[in-house]
Amino acid sequence: MIWIIVVVFSALASMVFLQDTVRRSQVHTSANASVEKAVLELRSFSDNFGQDFPDSRSLLENFLRREIPDRNEVLIGVVDSHLIQQQGFKSSEKPAVLSLDEQLLRSVIADVSYSGITSTPEYKNVHWGKVPIGTEMHSNQEQNQVFYRTDYLLVLVFTSARYDAVAQETKLFAALGFLGLLLSAVIAWLVAAQVLVPVRALRDVAAQISDSDLKTRVPVHGDDEIAQLARTFNRMLDRIDLAYAAQRQFVDDAGHELRTPITVVRGHLELLESGDAAQRTRSIQLCTQELDRMTRMVNDLLTLAIADANAADFLHLAPCDLSELSISLDDKAAMLSQGRTDLVAIAEGVVLLDAERVTEAVLELVRNAVKYTDEVTPILLSSSLDESAQTVSFSVRDFGPGVKPEAKENLFKRFRRGQHEQSDKGVAKKGAGLGLSIVSAIAQAHGGHAWVESVEGQGATFGITLPVQSADDPFF
């Protein structure tokens, strides 16, 4: 608001100053033009009719009788240092009759210049012109002297009243400008207040937000820029609320998953002192298994954290031969499944992808299939390249219990399990529920997605589909 007032004040002050300067310049120019006009008229009259008059006195008297001075203008004939005639209208500023005793006339006559501007205590800013009529030689026989006499036409233009009128106009414009400035300040204050109301509401809502309360929203009215800002802020709060809820759920689930192995390890460690050798050996074995499981869980959480942060080192894209990658996956999957895997389809071609991350995802699917199938059930691996859709898919098919339809939606979320948690022997299949989340994160990092197809009781097919770019593309 201060800047608005400063700008308006500068503009108004400049306008008032410019108006005053222009009007004073007009008065000055008009007065000079009046003096020049009278001088030119006298010269023209003298050139045309000067030979008709015997002396300068007759010339001046006839010229003054013919002239009609402008407003606030006085024409005076001076012959032999005597004022012979004054021509001019009486006004509030111009005197009816001037005498040679006036300080104004004395200063003009004594001035060696032929024009100028003179001010006296009685008359201010008088523009004048002095026109010599002729020079006559005279002699004084008594004193035996010869001297020369010059007669004049004096042109006086009184401008004090016009300058006073300009000053009054300037004061009027300044007063109007001051009122306009006050009005601008009031309007700026009201507009600023109206603009700041929603901004203050936004500030108040932001001040009320805390870690435990993310439900407050900014009220939205209208469809202007402030309203759009409020909607954007509310959408940001929605995202933060969802992220905070997901984080809180993640922490709760992680704490719950870690609490079990910690309890198991603590319980077995407490039995070491009282147990026999066989019990101590078994306790140590179980503690080691639980610690391995916690280590794997922590590593999985770190992997997901890197994927969530979109870290630049999460993926390392490089040209990859799909046939070699598929054969390598089959060899590694065979070690995990005790030779139960069978590679039924092999994609061919060279594409850009992170072979290590894809291997991690596929082996996680194989590990998941081994967990939920018996020891004789086969596991089928396949890879395929769809050139028309520019995608490559890797899938793992098992013949386990399958996935319930209502579990598919949350299957790839963290700490979620969609399949039966017991084998055919009734042994609990423990897991943190992070494996499929890692598979989905790897697929999404490539720009693809993870998927599952299943009919309950007839097994399930898990896979990832990735968009690919040919390794021969010049862009890469």
Given pLDDT bands bounded at 50, 70 and 90, which one contains residue 104? confident
Of 30-39, 58-67, 170-179, 239-248, the poorest mean pLDDT is in 239-248
pLDDT of 322 reads: 93
Q: Do the bridges between strand 73-79 and strand 145-158 make them parallel or antiparallel, or are there none, so unpaired?
A: antiparallel
Rounded to an integer, the average pLDDT of 59-73 is 84
- Interior/surface letters 291-326, b for 16+ CB within 10 angstroms, e for the rest: eebbeebeebbebbebbeeeeeebbeeeebbbeebb
| DSSP code at position 24 | H
Say how far apart CA 272 and CA 260 lie, in whole Å. 19
SS3 48: helix
Beta-bridge partner residues of 211:
none
> What angle separates helix 225-271 from helix 277-308, to the nearest 10 degrees?
170
369: tokens are 């299939």
Share of the chain above pLDDT 90, in %: 20
Rounded to an integer, the average pLDDT of 260-275 is 79
Q: In terms of CATH, what superfamily is 315-467? A: Histidine kinase-like ATPase, C-terminal domain (3.30.565.10)
pLDDT of 473 reads: 54
Contact status, residue 272 vs residue 280, Cβ threshold 8 Å: yes
CATH 3.30.410 fits 2-167, yes or no: no
Burial of residue 66 (number of CB atoms within 10 Å: 0-12, 13-18, 19+) = exposed
pLDDT of 429 reads: 47
Say how far apart CA 400 and CA 406 lie, in whole Å. 17
Contact status, residue 351 vs residue 344, Cβ threshold 8 Å: no
pLDDT of 452 reads: 92
- Name residues whose C-beta falls within 8 Å of residue 442's C-beta, 6 or more positions apart in sequence: 307, 354, 357, 358, 360, 361, 464
Of 79-83, 373-377, 424-428, the poorest mean pLDDT is in 424-428
pLDDT of 323 reads: 93
pLDDT of 383 reads: 94
Q: Is it the case that residue 140 has pLDDT exceeding 70? A: no
Rounded to an integer, the average pLDDT of 219-224 is 79
Q: What is the biggest distance separating any 2 CA atoms in the chain, rounded to whole angstroms?
A: 166
What are the φ and ψ backbone dihedral angles of 149, each rounded to 5 degrees? Answer: -120, 135
Of 402, 413, 416, 382, nearest in space to 453 by CA: 402
Say how far apart CA 180 and CA 187 lie, in whole Å. 10
65: tokens are 């009788």
Of 5-19, 232-246, 363-377, 415-429, the poorest mean pLDDT is in 415-429
Of 462, 227, 275, nearest in space to 364 by CA: 462
Higher confidence at residue 253 or residue 202?
202
Rounded to an integer, the average pLDDT of 48-62 is 83
Number of other CB atoms surrounding residue 220 within 10 Å: 16
Higher confidence at residue 393 or residue 286?
393
pLDDT of 362 reads: 93
Number of other CB atoms surrounding residue 64 within 10 Å: 19
pLDDT of 236 reads: 87
- Name residues whose C-beta falls within 8 Å of residue 226's C-beta, 6 or more positions apart in sequence: 195, 198, 199
Helix (H) or strand (E) holding 141: none
Q: Is it the case that residue 376 has pLDDT exceeding 60? A: yes
CATH fold, domain 225-306, is Helix Hairpins (1.10.287)
Higher confidence at residue 280 or residue 101?
280
Q: Do the bridges between strand 115-118 and strand 126-140 make them parallel or antiparallel, or are there none, so unpaired?
A: antiparallel
SS3 397: strand
Rounded to an integer, the average pLDDT of 304-315 is 69
Q: Which sign does the torsion angle of CA 37, 39, 45, 48 carry?
A: negative
pLDDT of 62 reads: 87
Higher confidence at residue 56 or residue 177?
177
Q: Is it the case that residue 159 has pLDDT exceeding 70? A: yes
Given pLDDT bands bounded at 50, 70 and 90, which one contains residue 138? very low
Q: Is it the case that residue 257 has pLDDT exceeding 80? A: no
Q: For the chain, how are helix, strand and coil distributed in percent, rounded to 5?
A: 50, 20, 30
Rounded to an integer, the average pLDDT of 128-145 is 62
Beta-bridge partner residues of 136:
149
Rounded to an integer, the average pLDDT of 306-323 is 78
> What angle separates helix 2-49 from helix 56-66, to the nearest 10 degrees?
130
Domain boundaries, the chain: 2-167, 225-306, 315-467
Higher confidence at residue 232 or residue 218?
232
Of 56, 48, 76, nearest in space to 134 by CA: 56
Say how far apart CA 468 and CA 472 lie, in whole Å. 12
Q: Return mean pLDDT, the chain.
A: 81
Of 219, 248, 221, 217, nearest in space to 234 by CA: 217
Rounded to an integer, the average pLDDT of 228-253 is 80
pLDDT of 427 reads: 37
pLDDT tens column, 331-353: 989 888 888 899 999 999 999 99
Given pLDDT bands bounded at 50, 70 and 90, which one contains residue 472? low
Contact status, residue 62 vs residue 133, Cβ threshold 8 Å: no
Of 263, 262, 247, 270, nearest in space to 294 by CA: 262
